[in-house]
Amino acid sequence: MKTVSVPTTGNEYIIGKILCIGRNYVDHIKELGNETPSAPVVFMKPATAVIYDGEQIRIPAYSQECHYEAELAVLIGNDGKDIPEAEALSHVAGYGVAIDMTLRDVQDRLKQKGLPWEIAKGFDTACPLSDFAAAATVTNPQDLTIRLSVNGAERQHGSTGLMINRVSQIISYLSTVYTLEEGDIILTGTPAGVGRVVSGDRLQAEIPGVASLTVQVA
């Protein structure tokens, strides 16, 4: 059983669904040569993919190209179905930072065949995740900076203000498909600058004023 916490409130949550949004930043869409979607692109990671600050990413033997993708993570605190966009943020318990580890070679191969690519996104250790800042301490989730460095060199530096679909829109949309439950986590997409990591690399992801996370590739 995997859990996450909001230290300032003392609350701990059992992780439920991890719902992820792809292609939510225009520059990231361009760098991978993808088409801009007409609706949010949704995939899932299992809770077993989660690791915490100070732990290690283990790249599966079936991949030779593992990429990082730093993202704003949203923790659901109140259950909801068909949530109006105007009410969406009231369902948030906290905000954190995650790294969506992606086996790019595996993903590309499966996409070319028209097959699902969950094994490229949901492998063990594929979701490094921070603690969460209480939602009340984040005035505007669309005014946050996302940074990621590898071995001390900055690779990603973007703003949540550049999201195609805002956090409130994402929550509202997802709730039309899935009942959102306490402990569910939403990864909201990554800005440009993604790239490969190899054994020994040290990754630090940060959303200043919200959360930070450091992990290493085994």
The CATH architecture one would assign to domain 3-217 is Alpha-Beta Complex (3.90)
- Look at residue 209 in the predicted model and tell me its pLDDT: 97
Amino acid identity of residue 164, one-letter, is I
DSSP calls for 61-109: TT-S-EEE-EEEEEEE-S-BSS--GGGGGGGEEEEEEEE--EEHHHHHH
Domain layout of the chain by residue ranges: 3-217
Out of 33-47, 76-90, 196-210, pick the least confident. Answer: 33-47
Distance CA 4, CA 15 (A): 7
What is the rounded average pLDDT of the residues 98-123?
96
- Tens digit of each residue's pLDDT (9 = 90 or more) over 46-88: 999 999 999 999 999 999 999 999 999 999 999 999 999 999 9
Report d(CA 187, CA 198) in Å as an integer: 23
Q: Give the per-residue pLDDT at 42.
A: 96
Angstrom distance (rounded) from CA 200 to CA 210:
27
pLDDT at residue 32 above 80?
no
pLDDT at 103: 98
Q: What is the pLDDT of residues 169-193, one digit of tens each?
A: 999 999 999 999 999 999 999 998 9
- Residue 167's H or E segment, with its range, is helix 167-177
pLDDT range class, residue 45, cuts 50, 70, 90: very high
Closest listed residue to residue 89, CA positions, set 153, 180, 156, 203 = 180
Confidence of residue 91 (pLDDT cuts 50, 70, 90): very high
What's residue 30's pLDDT?
A: 66
